[in-house]
Amino acid sequence: MKFLISLALGASVLAFGVVARGEIKIVADHNPNESASPAFKFKNVPTPSKNDAATNARFTILDGERDDNGGDLDKLHDGKLPSEEDEPAENFFSNAATEGGRLRVDLGKLIEIKQVNTYSWHPNTRGPQVYKLYAADGKAETFNAQPRKATELEKCGWKLIAKVDTRPKEGEGGGQYGVSISDSDGIIGKYRYLLFDMVRTENDDAFGNTFYSEIDVIGNDSDAGAGAGASEQAFIMHSADGYCEISIDTSAAPTLKDWAENGLAPVLAEWYPKIVAMLPSEAYTVPRQFEVMIRPGKGVAATGGARVTANSTWLQTELAGEAIGELVHEEVHVVQQYGNARRNSPIVTRSPGWLVEGIADYIHWFKYEPQSHGADLIWMRTRRNFSPRYDGSYRVTANFLNWVTEKYDQDLVKQLNAAMRQGKYHEDLWKEHTGHSLHELADEWKAGLEEQLAMPTEPKKQSS
């Protein structure tokens, strides 16, 4: 669901002594849970900025209190965004069972403000935004820079700019919200201070305070900078079936731009629908967007929600080797989304990490590039002191999964995936689908492998 609100506050603004040639406009977009992504891309609202007038501003809580489970105030203007729909530490929100609060933004000087943009993300009632935005230049004789909740803002130098309420008429309204406040004449006004009078979205329980992810203030002469999600230069394409939008951002690793667009992108586009078909489950909708951020870092790659972050330094050394296959592995994680069940219910069973990674490597090594022998007997022979364990994760578990599916049940990975996505994994599933317990299967697989590994390899034939 997407919606557009255009709200004129000309009369209200005139009441506070501001010359109103134009009208304040509030544009609000909503990405529902199934289409929300870490890229924070909206139809009508700008992508969050990494560098705007709020980046170096001072944020202060005037009334209310921060929830200790959430992030500090700097989460609102650090240019970084949550990678999942329920990531408390990457959002700012008021304490549970409170009525919201007042938040002041001190820009440090008077600036001409073009836009004020706010962003939020949560899977249910803490997604929508409800607040009033006030502004002040700080010059009024009656100006109060620290008005508490009981203080009438209009009587102490503050001017009402906009009233925002993105709650839907029906349902909990989960998802991702972007709100952009501007003026039809181009400039909201010249101000130093902004004040957000925030209100909780519901009173049915203690958890109605919005997960605010970012607040941007765009000045008339400021450079909005690159988006906090994908940069404006990100390469955008769609999966082979047209269902999913995939963006690849190499702005922090420009030497990999050509490889990413001409080598990596076609593979990700081709394999997204293939992976979806390999990992189906009832009543589950795969992400319609995901993003690959390529930049210098540590390790190899990691996936959070629908954002993949890949270490460009490592990729550079593996362009002719494992680079693309590793990102296919991460694409599997985008499709898996096993954490959704945990977020929706506290009593679900956590999926074992060895199996999560094993499934990703099973698709990588045995479906995408089996010809590379990256997890089969040929690879195992290169390992020193190798002792196979079914729960060894990654390649070793991938080998185990491949052996079980080939010998006992070709649909086993689909069945395990569906159970894990619902938070219902248990070891009895192995016996239900193969007739053997997990440990019986593991013992048989290991014995067979050790026997093969003990056999001498055939010497290479010498050419005559």
Residues 423-461 pLDDT 10s? 999 999 999 999 999 999 999 999 999 999 988 766 555
Please write the tens of the pLDDT for every residue from 213-260.
999 999 976 444 444 545 556 899 999 999 999 999 999 899 999 999
Please write the tens of the pLDDT for every residue from 59-80.
999 999 999 999 999 999 988 8
pLDDT at residue 380 is higher than 70 = yes
Q: What is the pLDDT of residue 226?
A: 43
Tokens, residue 204:
């049915």
Instruction: State which amino acid sits at residue 212.
Output: Y
Q: What is the pLDDT of residue 13?
A: 28
- Locate the domains of the chain by residue range: 10-219, 230-337, 338-456
Q: What is the pLDDT of residue 9?
A: 35
Please write the tens of the pLDDT for every residue from 339-351.
777 666 666 788 8
Q: Do domains 10-219 and 230-337 have the same CATH topology?
A: no
**Cα–Cα dist 354/338, whole Å:** 13
Please write the tens of the pLDDT for every residue from 18-42.
333 458 999 999 999 888 988 899 9
Please write the tens of the pLDDT for every residue from 41-53.
998 999 998 889 9
Q: What is the pLDDT of residue 152?
A: 93
Fold of 10-219: Jelly Rolls (2.60.120)
Mean of per-residue pLDDT scores for the chain: 88
Q: What is the pLDDT of residue 29?
A: 95
Q: What is the pLDDT of residue 119?
A: 98
pLDDT at residue 463 is higher than 60 = no
Q: What is the pLDDT of residue 22?
A: 56
Tokens, residue 92:
């700012």
- The dotted CATH code for 230-337 is 3.30.2010.30
